[in-house]
A and B are shown apart, each in its own frame.
Chain A
Amino acid sequence: MDFLFDFQSLGIGGATLAMFVMLMALLLTGMPLAFVTLLVALIFALGWFGPMAVPLITSRIFSFVNSFVFVSVPMFVLMAAILDRSGIARDLFDAMKVLAGRIRGGVAIQTLLVAVVLAAMSGIIGGEVILLGLLALPQMLRLGYDRNLAIGVCCAGGALGTMVPPSIVLIIYGLTANVSVGDLFSAAFLPGLMLAGFYAAYILIRAYMNPALAPIAEPEDITRAEKLRLLKGLFLPILVVIFVLGSIYGGIASVTEASAIGVIGVTLSTIIRGEFTVDLMIGAAKQTLRTVGMIVWIGIGASALVGVFNLMGGINFVSNLITGISDNPTVVILFMMAILFVLGMFLDWVGIALLCMPIFVPIVRDMGYDPVWFGVVFAMNMQVSFLSPPFGPAAFYLKSVAPPDISLGDIFRSLLPFIGMQILAVALLIAFPGITGH
């Protein structure tokens, strides 16, 4: 069994590099991400320590799934799946028509408003992008909107779900960094809205500079009565937002419980609308099972890899590498952002949070920064990861519901200006931490 222990001769530096290269190479073969990380964890457990270290991986799988905070994942997914199947989101979209009015780029602004309301209801990304892709994209394309603008609004708007509270990214950060999720939510409100504001400004500026990008819909006189009828579509979604955030800030429920209250709120809405059926609930639940299987197993893989890497002494190595980069704390923070940005191109945010936060947060604390502020910066950086190729979940989700003539390459190209705005937002948060109130 001697050959098994050869890995140690690489040294921790060489092993870290080998691990990264192996991850990327396996990822590009098309192997599922969850199994790529599990496999690399297994190879290094065997190669560095031998078979006795393998139970470490199953132990981490067990602990990872056995956590109260993770219960909010299926709850948020379920909420989106029920919304998908009811007319709630549809009516919300129509209601926003009244608010966005007849301005240039009105439908794009309308889409963005829907995105913000959906973001305040739920905390994950997939559901929102899909809803916008189903509701708004066909309408914008039909009106002759610039394709890139239409695609970008749907993807970037949908990704807001994890920036505007409640947010599963902030929940997981709170868990790994041991800071209050309530504080993180409060701190993320303004930055989330700021980012949405950037998108809105971008749409308006481009639409007014080049009217051909966003033609105005045929004049359609909406009567006052019709307006009121449409605005009713706002009522139930806003009620759900009040249910979720109100139960957290009103001291009624913990953050995890509030996600379940959101599910109850959405379910009640379908009952009120007369859409509730057992089939609808079962269909939504099965879709949830599939989606959490994907999300949680990516987390499982990352958690296993972290455990093995830590046992190898990797934490100290990477931590020293980062702090050694400069005596200037801002440079260290920027270096961390660069790492997150690069990892965001290849990995899912759950994996990134679990890999990096145990290393980054103690350094951030030691440098005297507020971990709540850093959590918001992290969530903003993960906004980029949803859009950046080659692994861009928002693009994947949109592709699954977009017209077939729109390729993944088209989508990624459309996202570049939005990535630019996200990076600008990250930079502003670092330059002016006051935006988070911390």
Chain B
Amino acid sequence: MTDVIDETLASHNQTPEAVPEAGLFGKAVNAIGLLFAIGILASAGLLFYEVVMRYVFNAPTRWVHETVVFLSALAFVYGGLYAAAIDKHIRVVIFYDRLSAGMKRVFNILISLTCLIASLFFAWAAWLSVKRAAWTPQGDFRLETSGSAWNPPYPGLLKIFLLIILVLLVVQFTIFTINYLRRKGQA
């Protein structure tokens, strides 16, 4: 019995791969995910450090909380692209699963295309917000800061990062659409 449990655990814990329809781009998204995964580990360490500094040494930092929020936000935003590349976004497939292979392919094409168009709109809107977060009204480059005592430019950086990820989502959904059209991978 023990071996069965070991096997199920091991197969469950395999690191996921990008689905074939995500293309080379999806593989790259999967690989770069490592960076943001490390950011999550770092966040846990930093929060622990903050608690120790405050509780034991009575010296809370002014940078840990903001940095942890920033690292987590990067992981959250990237996680959306990552889950798209490995096709792990939560979906209701009760109806979809009953479709024929041909209809599934049509659905896949339409869904990817719709997500592509929506992402395009969002990328455009994110660009508008980056214009406000990265330049002053006078046209000088100045990243929006958090306004705290430490005042890091995290909000400006995060808005730029969001724009980049939305653009990459457009790319990812374009690749999905094309590959479903060409029947690449399994429909």
Residue positions of A touching B, CB distance < 8 A? 27-35, 38-39, 42, 46, 54-55, 57-59, 61-62, 65-68, 70-71, 73-75, 78, 84-85, 90, 130, 134-135, 138-139, 142, 247, 252-253, 256-257, 260-261, 263-264, 267, 281-283, 285-290, 292-294, 296-298, 300, 346, 348, 389-391, 393, 396, 400-401, 408
In angstroms, Cα B115 to Cα A61, docked, is 16
**Does B181 count as interface, using CB distance less than 8 angstroms?**
no
Q: A70-B72, A90-B5 are in contact. Are A297 and B89 (CB under 8 A)?
A: yes
In angstroms, Cα B168 to Cα A74, docked, is 23
Is B162 within 8 A of A287, CB to CB?
Answer: no
Is B47 within 8 A of A260, CB to CB?
Answer: yes
Chain B residues near A70: list those with CB within 8 A. 72, 76
Q: A70-B72, A282-B34 are in contact. Are A134 and B107 (CB under 8 A)?
A: no
How many residues on chain B are close to A (CB under 8 Å)? 68
Chain B residues near A54: list those with CB within 8 A. 121-122, 124-125
Is A283 within 8 A of B92, CB to CB?
Answer: no
Is A35 within 8 A of B115, CB to CB?
Answer: yes
Chain B residues near A35: list those with CB within 8 A. 89, 111, 114-115, 118
Q: A35-B115, A58-B129, A293-B78 are in contact. Are A252 and B51 (CB under 8 A)?
A: yes
A301 nearest CB across to chain B (Å): 10
Is A257 within 8 A of B92, CB to CB?
Answer: no
SS class, residues of chain B in contact with chain A: helix
Chain B residues near A31: list those with CB within 8 A. 91, 111, 114-115
Is B90 within 8 A of A58, CB to CB?
Answer: no
**Does B33 count as interface, using CB distance less than 8 angstroms?**
yes
Is B90 within 8 A of A294, CB to CB?
Answer: yes
In angstroms, Cα B159 to Cα A55, docked, is 12
Is A297 within 8 A of B114, CB to CB?
Answer: no
In angstroms, Cα B37 to Cα A134, docked, is 24
Is A257 within 8 A of B76, CB to CB?
Answer: no
In angstroms, Cα B40 to Cα A341, docked, is 34
**Does B19 count as interface, using CB distance less than 8 angstroms?**
no
Task: Supply 12 further A-B pairs (C-beta < 8 A) apart from A34-B89, A66-B70.
Answer: A30-B107, A31-B111, A32-B90, A55-B128, A58-B162, A65-B158, A71-B43, A256-B47, A260-B47, A287-B16, A292-B79, A293-B89
Residue on B with the closest CB to A43? B118
In angstroms, Cα B81 to Cα A286, docked, is 13
Is B1 within 8 A of A139, CB to CB?
Answer: yes
